[in-house]
Structure 1
Amino acid sequence: MGEFTIKMPDVGEGVAEAELVEWLVKVGDPVREDMTVAAVMTDKATVEIPTPVSGTVIWLGGEIGDTIAVRAPLIRIETEGDGNDVAAPQPVTEPAKTEEQKPEHAAPIRTPEKPATPVASTTAAPSPRPSPEMDKPLASPSVRLLARDSGIDLRQIRGTGPAGRILREDVEHFLAHGKEAPPAQQGLAKRTSKEEIKLTGLRRRIAEKMTLSASRIPHITYVEEVDVTALEELRATMNGARKADQPKLTLLPFLMRTMVKAVSEQPDLNATFDDDAGVLTRSGAVHVGIATQTPSGLTVPVVRHAEARSIWDCAAEMNRLAEAARSGTATRDELTGSTITISSLGALGGIVSTPVINHPEVAIVGVNKIATRPVWDGAQFVPRKMMNLSSSFDHRIIDGFDAATFVQRLRTLLETPALIFIEG
């Protein structure tokens, strides 16, 4: 018998360590060659670690949430014959995710100081028909583990996640499919259950980034309403005349081009601030971050050089990056380096918001929902499409007057959209 040690692999891009987000085995478990044994997270991606050998797990190198250095021992396996220390071969990168549920077989986990509240998911009924064309259904390691422990072939399940990804809820629904539903609870009753969920992976990184932004940046938020009736008419006209290879325009590409014009007049807005060195770096390039909600959490893909892109080009690049972020295929470069950010919740945008600045930037523009409201034109009330902009600024760099000047410039351009297309 020999001992085989799998080390934390080098996942590239200069990453020196990764966070352990999931164990798929426990001490004493048998493993087979190419079986996934763990999942780690670096930046925005989850990486599956396979075992190159068959044998029995005899040691685990950390607990969920621990940070493991590259080439540090991760797992030891007892094998037949001689053992050798090697790094895990060809780890598989998957979309970033938060911890869905602590596996029953995971190494002991320390109780978190501040439990997070779980978010309920809406589930569509999956089809029980197998999908033989899928060699490996798209699913996270924990979902595969749940299916394996339950004796389910994932090819029998139709995923309801992005790109057909199979979610935990899909497996649970499949397990319950055809079984008698539990009797409905009668009347009112007290609920006494509690659930503690440790923040790991992308969700922990989001928490750390928000804490950094809120603790270091004194925010000032300025809200202004904008009449986007003319802009919406122009957008509808352009969409109606677009070519087959052109993307459908939303409001955001217009806002990007508007911001390019506005920051050219106020370069301090398109900048980053080094807190420790006390240095403000103005950027000639306008790299617009687009806050994007993904199944794993909030990410900020970056439309680079918006100053050199047309409305159509901005829309196409934004769509490409959003899809990459949601599918977990966005690269490190595509998720870093923004100089100013847009935050939009679309139809859920509400009336007012207080967006948190994307550190180390100094400004973020928040988009609220568009609503038709009566507006007095001097003689009568007329229906107009109105939208609020809720924008936050780093008050160490941007005074209230400068913040108001910037937002008013955005308002002027959006209310008179022809100005967006005038050069100079």
Structure 2
Amino acid sequence: MANIKDIFIPDLGADKDVDLIDIMVKVGDIVEVEDGLITLETEKASMDVPTPYKGKVVEILVKVGDKVNSGDLIVKVESTEESINEVPSSSNENEKEPIASPKDDESKITSPTQFVKEQTIKSVLEEVRVPDLGADKDVDLIDVMIHVGDIIVKDYSIITLETEKASMDVPAPFGGEVIEIFVEKGQKINGGDLIAKVIKTVVIEDKVPTPLAKIVEDEKIVEKASCPIPTIQEVAARSIEQEESNVLSKKATKVYASPSVRRVSREFGVDLGFVKGSAKKGRITVEDIKAYVKEQLNKPASATGVGFGFNLPEIKEIDFSQFGKVKRVELSRVQKVSGPFLHKNYLASPHVTQFDECDITELEKFRKEQNEIAKDFKLSPLVFIIKAVEKALKIHPKFNSSLSADGQELIMKEYFNIGVAVDTPNGLLVPVIKDVDKKGFKDIAIELSELSKKARDGKLTNADMSGGCFTISSLGGIGGTYFTPIINSPEVAILGVSKSSIKPIYDGSDFKPRLILPLSLSYDHKVIDGADGARFTTTLSQILSDLRLLSM
């Protein structure tokens, strides 16, 4: 007979007021034993709370964002089965006489029996350390590929080291959940240094007598339900060879992913409901998201939602060595990541570039005068351009927006975070100066210098490069006149700045030498019209020509 079962938060130990970050079921769902109901997040890790009953969800008493504690009621389930934690009565008055085993006459077991291994699963906290590096000392750590809360499998690459001779990935010696990380990108490490602490599961086997009928039944269940966890190498191989799609044809109703994985999915704009998870119980890893994005980018243009009515032709492999001597140089990590991102942005946004120029003769005079008296900072032309862009964004707010995912709304931003493209040995990086409207020339100059140094040293964090509203790409220190910068999605415009030069400008009676700065504004034509683009560069030109307009 069906009955209502209450499901409570399990013992959380010393943790109190734990964040509830996800509810994986809704009223009316049919759940199986061990199916996840909710996801909790503590300071160290995330965990799913499973159901101990099979049945139908009839009531949910919590919501995302709640603070919960041990023993709180979360869900009511209409169940027809007993909890897996409850032991059913084994009394049977009509039990048959025991069948003696020919090899064990003294056996008193009441049914055909065989000694089998019973598995007990326990969680163990283990340390992951840097392996023996031989003679190498103070090796550079150039990449950390795990986050707190990630579920990793054995041989998953967790960090990348770089010596004078080569770079190498350090694999995980076992699988589990990462709860603490002790290293960061850019530091020097040696053999034996602590990398992370991981909770891994171990199986303890004990020999216990089990009825043969039960063994046969269990073997059938295992044979039907067993699903080995693929290694990261296997997942990567399937992605590269496209033997198995990483995209689900139908959106999943339940998503199993850690908070760090969900954060990565938001950064990539990926709907986790369509990502195929490779870890235990279909849990999604960062590698699954990467494989999903790679597969989507490799699809023909018409299949990616870009909107073209034709398929892009495949790039044919050419043996260039038939024409002369060649050598292969691997792309940097930044180029491997940014290349597909720029390609997607270029295809997804109809780019239009407005060219203009402005007279910065007076600005340059003022800049040099201030640098002569400045002691702890240096004013570059870019500092004034950043401040002028912030003023122009206030006058033309459409440029400080993003298009909604469904393309039906503009998200107007009331903050002013300006990204600045920085040329580094590893490729182009875009740190973001936050709250430009609240900072003066000196503050911007100091922050710009610090972020540029971090970029060149390879020490920028995700926080340093996120939250931008508008991007400036300056080639003034290199040269050139005009170019077409690619929009840094989800922004809707980007400003290209080239090298200034002296030009003769007619003032109505005579030609006078003036310092002229070329501007190149690329914008998304889905959001911004040509007239708006021209108005923006005209406003920007006026401000840079007369800095007094910044105060108006």
User: CA separation in 2, counterparts of 1:301 and 1:309?
Assistant: 16
Shift in Å, 1:40: 12
User: Quick one: which of 358, 363, 378 aligns to 2:493?
Assistant: 363
Letter in 1 for 2:517: M
- The 5-angstrom pairing of residues 20-419 of structure 1 reads 32=132, 46-47=143-144, 75=171, 90-94=182-186, 192-199=324-331, 201-242=333-374, 244-245=375-376, 247-419=377-549
**TM-score normalized by the length of structure 1:** 0.58
CA-to-aligned-CA distance 1:277-329 (integer Å, 9 cap, x gap): 53321111100000111111111000000010001111111111111111122
CA RMSD of aligned residues (A): 3.9
**Residues 252 and 330 of structure 1, relative CA distance in 2, 3 Å threshold:** same
Shift in Å, 1:85: 8.2
Letter in 2 for 1:417: L
User: CA separation in 2, counterparts of 1:40 and 1:241?
Assistant: 40
User: CA separation in 2, counterparts of 1:278 and 1:48?
Assistant: 36
Letter in 1 for 2:348: R
Q: What's the counterpart of residue 99 of structure 1? A: none
Report how many residues are paired.
Answer: 280
Letter in 2 for 1:322: S
CA-to-aligned-CA distance 1:356-390 (integer Å, 9 cap, x gap): 11011001111110111122222222211111111
Structure having greater relative contact order (Cα 8 Å, sep ≥ 6) = 1
**Residues 195 and 91 of structure 1, relative CA distance in 2, 3 Å threshold:** farther
Q: What's the counterpart of residue 254 of structure 2? A: none
User: CA separation in 2, counterparts of 1:333 and 1:271?
Assistant: 20
**Helix, strand or coil for the counterpart of 2:185?**
strand
Letter in 1 for 2:426: S
Does the aligned pair in 2 maintain the 1:40–1:46 contact within 8 Å? no
User: CA separation in 1, counterparts of 2:530 and 2:342?
Assistant: 23
User: CA separation in 1, counterparts of 2:44 and 2:504?
Assistant: 53
Unaligned runs of 5+ in 1: 1-11, 15-30, 50-58, 66-72, 78-82, 96-106, 114-189
**Residues 84 and 235 of structure 1, relative CA distance in 2, 3 Å threshold:** closer
User: CA separation in 1, counterparts of 2:331 and 2:368?
Assistant: 43
Letter in 2 for 1:271: S
User: CA separation in 2, counterparts of 1:34 and 1:288?
Assistant: 45
Unaligned runs of 5+ in 2: 1-42, 46-130, 147-153, 161-168, 188-232, 242-321
User: CA separation in 2, counterparts of 1:211 and 1:85?
Assistant: 36
Does the aligned pair in 2 maintain the 1:48–1:91 contact within 8 Å? no
**TM-score normalized by the length of structure 2:** 0.45
Letter in 1 for 2:519: L
**Helix, strand or coil for the counterpart of 1:322?**
helix
**Residues 84 and 254 of structure 1, relative CA distance in 2, 3 Å threshold:** closer
